[in-house]
Amino acid sequence: MQTTFVRPNAAGARTLPASWYTAPEVFAAEEERIFRRAWLCVGRAETIRNPGDFFAVERAGESLIVTRDLSGVVHAFYNVCRHRGTRICTAPSGHFQGSIQCPYHAWTYALDGELKVARNMAEVSGFDRSEYPLKEAGVALWEGFVFVNLASRDGFEEVFEPLIGRFAPWEIASLETARSVNYELACNWKLVFMNYSECYHCPLVHPQLDKLSPSDSGRNDLSEGPFLGGYSTMRERGTSLTTTGRSSRPPLGSVGGEQLDRVYYYTIFPSLLLSLHPDYVMVHYVKPVAADRTEVVCAFLFDPRTMARPGFDPADAVEFWDLTNRQDWRVNELTQLGLRSRAYSPGPYSNAEGLLSAFDRHYLPIMEAQ
């Protein structure tokens, strides 16, 4: 039986009905229509620098092994042996010593997925090793991030065309992760995206942020489609979003001019939040787990030359945003609780929440498509 979804009131821009955030059947449809078809960010290429380095991820009910072969090509193999379907890798990360071996019957694969050894199968009539490579998901690299796609191995450049080259001054591909913080949220993933896209709440929820960067500053430069966002400005020139309000770190890449007094915030539908600061880049990897549960990893990227300097310490940025994140997660979870009430009904978006309405305009046609 097909699931039928109802649009919110078309007469005005309003929040979605509660079921879009609370219903297990909606989340199941999202897994099928969004997370099994979209390009999902799963990490950084820096974590698999060398052939054989790997990390494992789970997305939309699938386990993938992301690794680099002997030619330097990145692959995302389904974590499934072609013999009996055994899960091959249980470690979250590590290094393959030249091959990938199933722990059950030792079927062994090259780092490019080719089946090299299938014990006792030579005597099996009609068996051809070349017909049983590891199955792969689509993989794409953008600005040092690794994206996977469970439905297609093509089309990344077309989808990401609005972003390709857009952030060149920050030289994001050359940055490295200095610190990351893991969070488990009791709320729907869409609330995380929507909260990130508005600062209507900032004076009340984030006084430390509003003190440095006014909530009504800046402009949006991506306002339709899968990528939304823009910039906010600092109240004073030369300040930074850190616990001290200052930073002694040099700007990234060729960041200069007005960019030195701005912070850029973008949502990369449906799995990444990107925040560009003059001297660091912050990202949130968003992993939906259930209708009311989301895992988020917040990572902080810096120039490796700055990281190599004596006394380098990212704590001023990490602690500032850990406080800000936890403030956000609290109100997101309160919203999730309210959405479960029979008293909830869709409310009007404010003028400061234009990107939330834009999110709905992108999201709903995907969910309604058959």
List, in order of start, the domains of the chain with CATH numbers.
40-159 (2.102.10.10), 171-368 (3.90.380.10)
pLDDT of residue 77: 98
Classify burial at 35, counting beta carbons within 10 Å of its beta carbon; exposed 0-12, middle 13-18, buried 19 or more: buried
CA–CA gap between residue 197 and residue 34 (Å, rounded)? 20
Contact 74, 111 (CB under 8 A): no
Strand residues in the chain grouped as ranges (E): 40-44, 53-59, 62-68, 74-78, 93-95, 100-101, 108-109, 115-117, 136-142, 145-149, 176-185, 219-222, 227-233, 262-268, 272-276, 281-290, 293-302
Torsions phi, psi for 148 (to 5 deg): -125, 155
What parts of the chain have a pLDDT lower than 70?
A: 1-11, 370
Separation of alpha carbons 218 and 233, rounded Å: 6
User: What's residue 369's pLDDT?
Assistant: 85
In the block, residue with structure tokens 């030579």: 122
Q: What count of Cα atoms within 13 Å lies in the side-chain half-sphere of residue 158? A: 5
CA distance 27 to 33: 10
Cα 224–227–228 angle (5° rounding)?
65
DSSP 134: P
User: Is residue 149 left, alpha or beta, with left meaning phi > 0 and alpha meaning psi from -120 to 50?
Assistant: beta
**Quick one: CA torsion of 143, 280, 39, 296, rounded to 10 degrees?**
150
Q: Which residues contact 105 (CB under 8 A, 6 or more apart)?
A: 81, 83, 84, 86, 119
Q: Which residue has the tokens 């850029």?
A: 264
- Could you tell me the pTM of the whole model? 0.94
DSSP state of 141: E
Q: What is the token pair recorded at 347?
A: 């409310």
Distances (CA, A) of 134 to 54, 124, 203: 15, 20, 51
Using DSSP, state whether 81 is helix, strand or coil: coil
